[in-house]
């Protein structure tokens, strides 16, 4: 093989544990065990959250195309974890809306998966709720206690990080940096070491805590970090191949998961996770005059910049416009969000979509988006010579470089040396991974059809009128008015759901 020829048998991934690119090989020859930190369902997912699940979706599509079987686990944190000021996020949301914690969890879990479906993010093989696995958490805590890694203080059971010589290796922090992180999270006089963390709360901050369970350490509830270790072990066994999450989890949450999980593994079975993958933030500038060198703040609920998918839709963007926007940057690079960039992504996706529709009409073919494994096999064997398909696959196998992959698709449609059939195959191949809606509908450059407004009954007529006005405002690009009308409907207890058939109203339960 020529030294510059890509090796289509190897997926290169950046492993945060070691901070370098490595050739990915699972522990078992043909099966990948993958765990991904899921949402805490106390509110709507924001667009920063959705970057993580989009990256994970690209990864799973690559693994499946390479012929691996996949056991992909996503957890739903419905117990809640603490805000920076020590309050329970689930309890706060439930109290504000006058609902039970379970009602809140169910409602926002459903909303999360609606956003995923609209964003073409495939469901994992296994979805597990924390409240269904309290017994697994208690069993793991008991094993840690029996092995001497815990201590009881001020009514709570703590993990003793002082027992570990390599605690925090994933974050790669110097002692000074670690002290800065700890200074931001505050101090706890009950801890032996400020890096220690609670495994089980029996003396929580809330006398009326809604979710509590009996345990050997008193009636209470689990710490956040034990949830992931317990559920990963329950569904994937003692060791896993890939663990994904946002870069903000490296310093505390994932470091604590490693501490818990590796403490119950024999030395010869470490590490617990073979590959750690972390995506960077989506960020917004705090002020319009901030220079490009200052990327601003990550999008989050706590920062007040919690833009949701519905917010984007109300401004005329498709969820797939946002997916295209995300895939235009490497997952390990921060993305600066602003609406001008979103408009650019929308126009670029529409142009590529139009090209796909024209090629589909020329070739008279229906795209087959489930045959990526077959295409990969032909690329590996050399039977498929299309240079842009080869470039696309090489890009994705080099640490999921979707930005380079998109460039390969654009190069394909502009390449006068390719036949329409070859261009169509390149876009078909790229769409099977990227899922940006290139072949959805007949896109030949004509004006988009009117979207009928369909509303399930019974809904009061006055709200149907507001919905119709909001639809008119969006079509005329009066997004301020569209936002106002959506807020009016929300205050009246209705949520707008934008579907392929048109917007509908759904009675909110929270």
What's the mean pLDDT in 142-161?
96
Are the beta carbons of 239 and 269 closer than 8 angstroms?
Answer: yes
Percent of the chain with pLDDT over 90: 64
Tokens of 259: 């501490």
Q: What is the pLDDT of residues 209-256, one digit of tens each?
A: 678 899 999 999 999 899 999 999 999 999 999 999 999 999 999 999
Tell me: is residue 62 an annotated ligand-binding position: no
Tell me: is residue 120 an annotated ligand-binding position: no
Helical pair 402-414 and 339-363, crossing angle rounded to 10 deg: 50
Q: Rounded mean pLDDT of the chain?
A: 85
- Distance (Å, whole) CA 11 – CA 381: 17
Q: Are strands 31-36 and 240-246 parallel, antiparallel or unpaired?
A: parallel
Is pLDDT of 176 > 60? Answer: no
Which of 36-50, 103-117, 138-152 ranks highest by mean pLDDT? 138-152
Q: What is the pTM of this model?
A: 0.84
Phi/psi of residue 106, each to 5°?
A: -65, -45
- Distance (Å, whole) CA 105 – CA 78: 6
Is pLDDT of 151 > 70? Answer: yes
Tokens of 256: 């604590």
Is pLDDT of 206 > 70? Answer: no
Are the beta carbons of 198 and 158 closer than 8 angstroms?
Answer: yes
Tell me: is residue 123 an annotated ligand-binding position: no
Helices marked H in 167-308? 175-185, 224-236, 253-263
Position with higher pLDDT, 468 vs 3: 468
Q: Are strands 282-284 and 335-336 parallel, antiparallel or unpaired?
A: parallel
Position with higher pLDDT, 342 vs 90: 342
Instruction: Give the model's pLDDT for residue 448.
Output: 39
Triad 262, 267, 269: Cα angle to 5°: 75
Instruction: Give the model's pLDDT for residue 478.
Output: 83
Q: Is the dihedral of CA 332, 338, 343, 346 positive or negative?
A: positive
Q: What is the pLDDT of residues 420-467, one digit of tens each?
A: 999 999 999 999 999 999 999 644 443 333 333 333 445 676 777 788
Position with higher pLDDT, 460 vs 324: 324
Q: What is the pLDDT of residues 380-414, one digit of tens each?
A: 999 999 999 999 999 999 999 999 999 999 999 99
Instruction: Find all residues with CB under 8 Å of 265, minimum gap 6, and list them.
Output: 238, 239, 272
Tell me: is residue 253 an annotated ligand-binding position: yes
What's the mean pLDDT in 191-197?
92
Is pLDDT of 82 > 60? Answer: no
Tell me: is residue 37 an annotated ligand-binding position: yes
Is pLDDT of 372 > 60? Answer: yes
Is pLDDT of 22 > 60? Answer: yes
Position with higher pLDDT, 238 vs 178: 238
Are the beta carbons of 487 and 481 closer than 8 angstroms?
Answer: no
Is pLDDT of 57 > 90? Answer: yes
Q: Is the dihedral of CA 487, 490, 491, 494 positive or negative?
A: positive
Are the beta carbons of 433 and 62 closer than 8 angstroms?
Answer: yes
Position with higher pLDDT, 106 vs 306: 106
Confidence class of residue 17 from pLDDT cuts 50, 70 and 90? very high
Least confident range of 319-333, 415-429, 479-493: 479-493
Could you tell me if residue 205 is left (phi over 0), alpha (psi between -120 and 50 degrees) or otherwise beta? alpha
DSSP assignment of 489-505, as one string?
HHHTTEEEEEETTEEEE
Least confident range of 19-23, 82-86, 178-182, 196-200: 82-86
What's the mean pLDDT in 185-190?
74
Percent of the chain with pLDDT over 70: 81
Position with higher pLDDT, 460 vs 303: 460
Is pLDDT of 174 > 90? Answer: no
Burial of 109 by CB count in 10 Å (0-12 exposed, 13-18 middle, 19+ buried)? middle
- Distance (Å, whole) CA 480 – CA 468: 15
Confidence class of residue 294 from pLDDT cuts 50, 70 and 90? very low
What's the mean pLDDT in 72-78?
96
Are the beta carbons of 219 and 202 closer than 8 angstroms?
Answer: yes
């Amino acid at each position: 093989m020529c030294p510059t020829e890509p090796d289509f048998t190897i997926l290169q991934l950046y492993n945060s544990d070691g901070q370098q690119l490595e050739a990915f090989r699972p522990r078992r020859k043909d099966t990948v065990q993958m765990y991904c930190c899921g949402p805490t369902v106390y509110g709507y997912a924001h667009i920063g959250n959705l970057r993580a699940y989009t990256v994970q979706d690209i990864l799973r599509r690559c693994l499946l195309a390479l012929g691996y079987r996949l056991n992909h686990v996503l957890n739903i944190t419905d117990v809640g974890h603490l805000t920076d000021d020590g309050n329970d996020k689930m309890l706060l949301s439930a109290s504000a809306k006058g609902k039970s914690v379970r009602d809140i969890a169910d409602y926002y879990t459903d909303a999360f998966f609606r956003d995923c479906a609209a964003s073409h993010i495939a469901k994992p093989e296994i979805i597990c709720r924390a409240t269904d696995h309290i017994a697994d958490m208690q069993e793991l805590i008991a094993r840690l206690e029996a092995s001497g890694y815990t201590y009881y203080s001020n009514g709570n059971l703590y993990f003793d990080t002082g027992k570990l010589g390599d605690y925090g290796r994933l974050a790669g922090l110097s002692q000074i940096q670690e002290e800065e992180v700890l200074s931001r999270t505050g101090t706890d006089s009950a801890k032996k070491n400020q890096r220690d963390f609670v495994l089980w709360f029996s003396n929580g901050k809330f006398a009326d805590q809604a979710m509590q369970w009996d345990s050997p350490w008193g009636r209470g509830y689990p710490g956040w970090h034990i949830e992931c270790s317990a559920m990963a072990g329950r569904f994937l066994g003692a060791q896993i191949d890939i663990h994904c999450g946002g870069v903000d989890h490296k310093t505390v949450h994932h470091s604590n998961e490693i501490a818990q999980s590796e403490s119950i593994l024999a030395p010869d079975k470490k590490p617990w996770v073979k590959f750690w993958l972390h995506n960077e933030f989506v960020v917004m500038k705090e002020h319009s005059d901030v220079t490009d060198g200052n990327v601003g703040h990550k999008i989050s609920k706590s920062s007040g910049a919690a833009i949701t998918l519905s917010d984007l839709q109300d401004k005329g963007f498709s969820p797939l416009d946002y997916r295209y926007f995300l895939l235009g940057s490497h997952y390990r690079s921060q993305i600066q969000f602003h609406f001008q960039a979103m408009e650019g992504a929308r126009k670029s996706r529409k142009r590529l979509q139009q090209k796909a529709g024209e090629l589909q009409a020329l070739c008279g073919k229906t795209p087959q988006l489930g045959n990526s494994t077959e295409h990969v096999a032909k690329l590996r064997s050399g039977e498929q010579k299309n240079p842009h398909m080869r470039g696309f696959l090489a890009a994705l196998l080099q640490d999921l470089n979707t930005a380079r992959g998109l460039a390969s698709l654009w190069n394909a449609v502009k390449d006068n040396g390719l036949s329409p059939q070859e261009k169509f195959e390149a876009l078909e191949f790229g769409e099977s991974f990227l899922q940006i809606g290139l072949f959805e509908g007949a896109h030949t450059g004509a004006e988009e059809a009117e979207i009928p407004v369909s509303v399930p009954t019974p809904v009061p007529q006055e709200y149907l009128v507001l919905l119709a006005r909001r639809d008119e405002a969006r079509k005329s690009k009066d997004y301020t008015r569209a936002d106002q009308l959506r807020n009016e409907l929300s205050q009246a207890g209705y949520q707008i759901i934008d579907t392929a058939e048109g917007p509908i109203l759904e009675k909110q339960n929270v």
